Amino acid sequence: MTKKIAWVTDTAALLSPEFIKKHNIHVLALNIVFEEGALRETIDMTHDEFYDKLKNAKAHPKTSQPAFGEHVALYEELKQEGYDCAIAIHTSEQLSGTVLSAPMAAEQAGFKNYVIDAKIGSYPMQYMLELGLELEKDGLKPEEIVKKIEAMRGNAELAFIPASLEQLHKSGRVSGTAMFLSNLLNIKLVIEYNKEGGVEVAQKVRADKRAKKAVIEKLQRAIQKSPVKEVAVIHCNNLTGANEWKKELEEKFPTIIFTPTPLSACVGVHAGEGTLGLTWVRE
């Protein structure tokens, strides 16, 4: 008998409301912790409200995983709704404890859960969900679906150019000296996800143009390995910049679909408003 599968993720994927509704995705909200307390992304504030608060915050906010009680409540609800199990795709364990909390929450609710560490965030998480949904339609068992999603994780890549080293400094990601020198010399960082799901500085270059070139070269190397059909032009409240870069990229890569895609507010906390990047999944 085919099992009724619930699909679960978190706001690191930042799925569109249309995608969530169409596929009945259950989303747990990550938290941005300001002085007055924690606010749930997409629930307690819009992204415009988040960036307004970020500009005016006296103390730099922190990020945290969804409350454990919300996690448990979701699995209890899914159990009551008649689901046999859930497949949960969560952002990298190295960046959030959500993926570790998921099996504990499901166990407390007495519900079967298959947890996948996406080892990345943003658009690749949606791609994994789309693949899983297709495999479910094809009648594959949950264990088989999980194996196929985990097998394609290595094809997912993401690189971005933080707009603000000041934000990274406030978050404790770079030193004050590094921030000062970078501002003085117009140094830009290119940050990537590594294979283990952590983020690291891949390159330090002078000026935005060279930083974008470094990200484009990463895409070109990916294409040489296997086809890339779609690329998300990711941004932190910088749709204008994303659309401008999209036009340039479409001229350079006419066979690829480029889609401006906002990043989670949790990335905005660390990388700053204006951040741009690219992410894709190779075929």
Task: Name the DSSP class of 41.
Answer: B
Q: What is the pLDDT of residue 43?
A: 95
- Which pTM value belongs to this model? 0.92
Q: What is the pLDDT of residue 59?
A: 86
Mean pLDDT of 107-125: 96
Q: Any idea which residue has 């993720």 for tokens?
A: 9
Q: How far is CA 250 from CA 73, 247, 253, in A?
A: 44, 5, 5
Q: Are 175 and 154 in contact (CB under 8 A)?
A: no
Contacts of 58 (CB under 8 A, 6+ apart): 35
DSSP states of 119-167 as a string? SS-SHHHHHHHHHHHHHHHTT--HHHHHHHHHHHGGGEEEEEE-S-HHH
- Looking at the chain, how many residues does it have? 283
Q: How far is CA 165 from the centre of its chain?
A: 20
Read off the pLDDT of residues 229-280 as tens digits, 9 standing for 90 and up: 999 999 999 999 999 999 999 999 999 999 999 999 999 988 889 999 999 9
Read off the pLDDT of residues 22-73 as tens digits, 9 standing for 90 and up: 999 999 999 999 998 999 999 999 999 999 998 888 888 999 999 999 999 9
Largest pairwise CA distance in the chain = 64
Q: Are 246 and 198 in contact (CB under 8 A)?
A: no
Between 196 and 105, residue with greater pLDDT: 105
Q: What is the pLDDT of residue 179?
A: 43
Q: How far is CA 254 from CA 248, 258, 261, in A?
A: 10, 10, 19
Read off the pLDDT of residues 135-178 as tens digits, 9 standing for 90 and up: 999 999 999 999 999 999 999 999 999 887 665 545 444 444 44
Residue 64, beta-bridge partner list: 31
